[in-house]
């Protein structure tokens, strides 16, 4: 059987996708020939691409994410583009955890729109200078894919927000789903242009590309592929409300390793696979795996970390020290609590403001002394919900400052603008406590950044004559991904404003010795579990999961998102009809065991009585003296005995073998196993 698959077979049955623009010149392929799945029934077939050796002799990894780790801007003369690395990108940082000799190629979209006639030149520049392959999405596809399905469906749902009304979250729109699939298909085409399937690993990131594994698995059955989800994964009761729930689960299961930040997120995913797909997982020697048609899909639990080198280099900058001194003068005599959040409906910023207000009411000693500096990063999305939360935050800030403010003192300092890491580090340095009250967040690395900044540079690099006490305090929501790893933080339920207020008071009232102990514990974890550690750990598990890929015989079966790979032992041979007929003819004694429901009768049949055609076939089989025919079923003995009374030579094992008879005239007897205790 020739197993050939093409990505266009994943077009949804609901309609064709719009044309993606004119046919563009493809990038030079890194592989020597186009990848075509080989004849897998041939014993000598050991390649999933071609019989021609690949031009790559060492492993590479292709990092696929929604956005490339580069910044793009028009040149001043408006003739072309200039590009630079995005030093804040996680995709760029994770290179530190990969083997030094491993080549890394990035596939993703740009943050800017590039004209069609410029796309080929931009692609060539990015590939040659940055090893980046841009995926250009048509504007209409991008709007529906990112602002539509990603931000209006997946993002709210994964953060436990259900669309209860058309005005609250928005109803499911199939055209947005089709755009999401179309965008993932474009990403897959860009990966295929540069991939060498026998040598490359593919690492896909986040909820924007959850169906990409299906496209790539169809094209390269034995491709080594991992996926990491950077957002929460909701409980099965929430996830099951998604109309395309099974399509996404099945697509993800085409990856070899699926990663999550926390055990809870992984547990929810496994629960969804169990309840919706009937799959069970196994845990062996610390590894969790899902058995899926002969393949073991690994489950990785590892929270991402920060880039230690980047933050430590920022701490050495002179302008950071200048800003620290300026902030110390501004907040002289004040105790600063700090919040750093994206302007997002799930960050719980207003709950934090309400907790600050409550703390000032319950503990008047902090009036005139405690200041909450709230830094709000620009919103990534848009919509009515976001506008409402922004208005609510502004109203709370005004009310609290009007109530507790006085000349020279405002309890709430709200900073609503983009802020560099250098300036953020200055605020971390003067903050006695960082407060995170997100109602749901995938990871949130702000507490990690704060801890490292409070540690500062090593004493040998510091200009200070006397060593300073290293201390920090954290009040964090129990609903964020980093919470389990910060055992010294004060965990709160952000919806409980009074409890959060008391936690904030406890944090800034705690003695310095206790703060130092908690800080040391946190810093030890954060500094050793950085982004390089996370990437190295994930990649090692991906290598382990894929080590037997090219030893197994695989077949791709199924249509659309029902596509999956069936993996079998190298010694497995398909049973052909000719082989069965030949063995049947040669044998002198045969045992034929027949199930009833689902075999002789359809599972969906309302009338369970066997038809005359079934009775005729059973009698024909049992009429051969060389055959011993048994019907095995969980049904009761009375029903089976009545239905098959015309079959005189048929044995029946009723009620899962509890009652048995060998022929019609014999009574049923109990078959009870005896165990010696």
pTM of the entire predicted model = 0.79
Under 8 Å CB-to-CB from 18, ≥6 apart: which residues? 138, 140, 141, 182
Strand order in the sheet with 370-377: 412-416, 370-377, 335-342, 433-436, 474-477, 490-492
Half-sphere exposure of 553 (CA within 13 A, CB side): 15
Q: Is 315 helix (H, G, I), strand (E, B) or coil?
A: helix
pLDDT of residue 40: 31
Give the residue carrying structure tokens 């960050």.
347
CA-nearest of 71, 69, 108 to 187 is 108
What's the rounded Cα separation, in Å, for the pair 288 and 301?
Answer: 9
pLDDT beneath 50: ranges in the chain: 1-57, 460, 464-466, 673-677
The torsion defined by the Cα of 646, 650, 655 and 656, in degrees rounded to 10, comes to -150
pLDDT of residue 458: 63
Under 8 Å CB-to-CB from 526, ≥6 apart: which residues? 305, 306, 448, 451, 452
Contact 640, 653 (CB under 8 A): no
Q: Is 652 helix (H, G, I), strand (E, B) or coil?
A: strand
Contact 224, 202 (CB under 8 A): yes
The first and second tokens of residue 258, run together, are 């699926």
- Exposed, middle or buried by CB within 10 Å (0-12, 13-18, 19+), for 676? exposed
CA-nearest of 375, 394, 379 to 450 is 375
pLDDT of residue 26: 41
281-284 vs 335-342, strand pairing mode? unpaired
659-661 vs 669-670, strand pairing mode? antiparallel
């Amino acid at each position: 059987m020739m197993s050939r698959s093409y990505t266009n077979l994943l077009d949804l049955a609901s309609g064709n996708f719009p044309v993606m623009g004119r046919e563009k010149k493809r990038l030079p392929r890194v592989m020597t020939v186009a990848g075509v799945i080989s004849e897998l029934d041939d014993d000598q077939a050991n390649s999933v691409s071609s019989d021609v050796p690949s031009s790559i002799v060492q492993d590479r990894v292709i990092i696929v994410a929604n956005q490339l780790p580069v910044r793009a801007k028009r040149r001043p003369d408006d003739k072309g583009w200039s590009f630079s690395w995005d030093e804040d990108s996680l995709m760029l940082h994770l290179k530190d955890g990969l083997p030094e000799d491993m080549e890394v190629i990035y596939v993703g979209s740009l943050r800017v729109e590039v004209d069609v006639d410029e796309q080929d030149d931009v692609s060539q520049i990015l590939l040659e200078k940055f090893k980046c392959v841009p995926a250009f999405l048509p504007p209409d596809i991008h709007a529906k894919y990112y602002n539509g399905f990603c931000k209006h469906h997946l993002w709210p749902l994964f953060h436990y927000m259900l669309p209860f009304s058309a005005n609250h979250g928005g109803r499911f729109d199939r055209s947005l789903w089709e755009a999401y699939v179309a965008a993932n298909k474009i990403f897959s085409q860009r990966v295929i242009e540069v991939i060498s399937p026998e040598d490359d690993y593919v690492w896909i990131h986040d909820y924007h590309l959850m169906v990409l594994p299906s496209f790539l698995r169809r094209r390269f059955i034995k491709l080594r592929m991992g996926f990491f989800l950077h957002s929460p994964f909701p409980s099965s009761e929430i996830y099951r409300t998604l109309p395309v729930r099974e399509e996404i689960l099945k697509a993800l299961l085409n990856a070899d390793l699926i990663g999550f930040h926390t055990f809870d997120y992984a547990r929810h995913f496994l629960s969804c696979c169990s309840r919706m797909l009937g799959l069970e997982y196994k845990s062996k020697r610390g590894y969790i795996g899902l058995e899926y048609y002969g393949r073991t899909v690994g489950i990785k639990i590892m929270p991402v970390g920060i880039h230690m080198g980047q933050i430590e280099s920022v701490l050495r900058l002179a302008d950071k020290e200048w800003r620290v001194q300026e902030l110390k003068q501004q907040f002289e005599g004040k105790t600063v609590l700090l919040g750093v959040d994206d302007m997002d409906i799930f960050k719980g910023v207003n709950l934090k403001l309400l907790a600050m207000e409550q703390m000032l009411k319950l503990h008047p000693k902090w009036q005139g002394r405690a200041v909450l500096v709230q830094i709000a990063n620009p919103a990534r999305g848009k919509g009515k919900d976001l506008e409402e939360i922004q208005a609510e935050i502004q109203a709370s800030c005004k009310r609290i400052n009007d109530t507790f403010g006085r000349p020279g003192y405002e309890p709430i300092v709200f900073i609503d603008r983009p802020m560099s890491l250098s300036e953020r580090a200055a605020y971390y340095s003067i903050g006695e406590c960082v407060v995170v009250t997100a109602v749901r967040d995938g990871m949130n690395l702000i507490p990690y950044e704060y801890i490292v900044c409070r540690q500062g540079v090593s004493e040998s690099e510091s200009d200070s004559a006397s060593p300073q006490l290293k201390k920090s305090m954290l009040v964090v929501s129990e609903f964020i991904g980093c919470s389990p790893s910060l055992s010294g933080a004060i965990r709160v339920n952000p919806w409980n404003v009074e409890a959060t207020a008391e936690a904030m008071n406890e944090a800034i009232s705690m003695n310095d010795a206790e703060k130092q102990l908690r800080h040391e514990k946190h810093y030890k974890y954060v500094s050793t579990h950085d982004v390089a550690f996370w990437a190295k750990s994930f990649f090692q598990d991906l290598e382990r999961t894929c080590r037997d890929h090219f030893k197994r015989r695989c077949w791709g079966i199924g249509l659309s998102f029902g596509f999956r790979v069936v993996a079998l032992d190298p010694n497995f041979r398909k049973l052909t009809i000719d082989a069965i007929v030949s063995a049947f003819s040669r044998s002198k004694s045969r045992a034929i065991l027949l199930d009833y429901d689902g075999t002789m009768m359809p599972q969906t049949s309302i009338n369970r009585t066997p038809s005359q055609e079934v009775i005729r076939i059973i009698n024909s089989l049992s009429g051969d003296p060389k055959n011993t025919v048994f019907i095995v079923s969980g049904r009761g003995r009375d029903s089976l005995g009545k239905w098959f009374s015309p079959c005189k030579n048929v044995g029946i094992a009723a009620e899962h073998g509890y009652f048995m008879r060998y022929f019609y005239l014999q009574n049923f007897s109990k078959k009870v196993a005896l165990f010696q205790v």
